[in-house]
Amino acid sequence: MILCDSVIHIDIGKRRSSGDEDVYEEKLRLFANDQEYNSIVSALHNWDYVIAELFSQRLKIKSYNLGMIRLAKKCNILCLAIMSGKGAPDFTEEINEVTAVYGMMRDCINRAFKVKV
């Protein structure tokens, strides 16, 4: 089963939540108020690439575990760009892609669960 036009793969998320649909749903609801993305943006703004990479890794793992494969892949690309030593102007495209997909995920969750952010 896929939520919101192939944005979130529920089968993967449920499997990563030991098959417990209630636990998975709660994790999705919590994601709507997640701070990893904001921490990435803040770290990049402050040119703190170590912290930006750390939170990119965290968001990648959390996204994958929730079935948000597209977001996990975009986070991985951002992590690789940061690890390769590129400076901020050199990975504008990567953070823009993470931002776009992250926004789709949050919108999907907000519509599905009527979450107030």
First vs last C-alpha separation in the chain: 25
3-state secondary structure 56-109: HHHHHHHHHHCCCHHHHHHHHHHHHHHHCCCCHHHHHHHHHHHHHHHHHHHHHH
Domain spans in the chain, listed from the N-terminal domain onward = 2-113
pLDDT per residue as tens digits for the range 1-40: 445 655 788 888 889 898 888 999 899 888 888 899 999 9
pLDDT per residue as tens digits for the range 44-70: 999 899 999 999 999 999 999 999 999
CATH code, 2-113: 1.20.120.160
Q: Name the pTM for this structure.
A: 0.86
Q: Which H or E run contains 50?
A: helix 49-65
Residues 63/58/50/88 CA torsion (nearest 10 deg): 10
Could you tell me how many residues make up the chain? 117
Q: Which residue has the tokens 């636990």?
A: 23
